[in-house]
Structure 1
């Protein structure tokens, strides 16, 4: 069950309620400012590469440094779905990162809007809902001896806004639930991320959703 909506026939608009901009840009104005810098001086060309944007989101923003390999790559129009996996040979895809072009034209940068989930999902709080602390999070998971950690992040801050660890879970498509408190939110959209691991790496699977602050 994906945490982000599937694309429809018309061009979706980031921030309109259907899709939320998680990272690296918090507003369309920021994305357009990067486009101007890129045209004038070639600044940060990785924003035009969905693979590099997905890895930067995973390793840089979320801090999951063991995940450093692209396991799948699908681009369709303004949408990209990029599988990211552990750098080593062990373990499968950790998540399918869903990205969209933020803006129009060939130089519109890629923006993370969520993840598409199968065996590990984060469906509560609802995607695009209003953020409140404490926040009840939850979804479904398939696995063995899983310990779920939940974090709340925002692009403008390197520090976590909140974290909660760890809910024990496992079985086949079983529900999980966990509460997390957070503070210091100032960006319009926050990232809620749930992760699990401990078998071959600290983080082996993760799932994210977006909540709004106003």
Structure 2
């Protein structure tokens, strides 16, 4: 497990975050395909994660954040600027500073994200919609997922909605996610059904 002390929540930045958000989105999708189904489901999720799909997804995120920048909140990993002896890396020698930059490059820029649809799309369910929440495996078990959920609930509560609810679609086979949502006060409210389009 990774220490989450150097992680802070902030709004998604469309200039610096797209590549890292796409990496997280891929993790989210692959987790759905791998953790909640058989080989066919995993293959279906993997197959859709093309470069074209990634561009369309990032365009969608850009459109949503233009309507409300708060709809995507990221957990940004801030580099640790201290050396082993507690001194600031910039005050140390050049070799130590270069070594610190190398280790920073190996650290992901984003530990996770939450995506709540902007109010303009609330009419889909007449409620706020939690589109996605994801935390990198190495950051799970920290406070990050809880902090992201708190940000989602706070943003949803600020929306002017016909129904005073935050809704999401969760795979009933995903026990870990179901327990997380239950801990945050979510209850079953209807059930989504789907059919394949031929």
TM (normalized to structure 1)? 0.28
Name the structure with the higher strand share.
1
Structure with larger RCO (C-alpha < 8 A, sep 6+): 2
Larger Cα-atom Rg: 2
TM-score (norm 2): 0.30
Name the one with the larger helix percent.
2
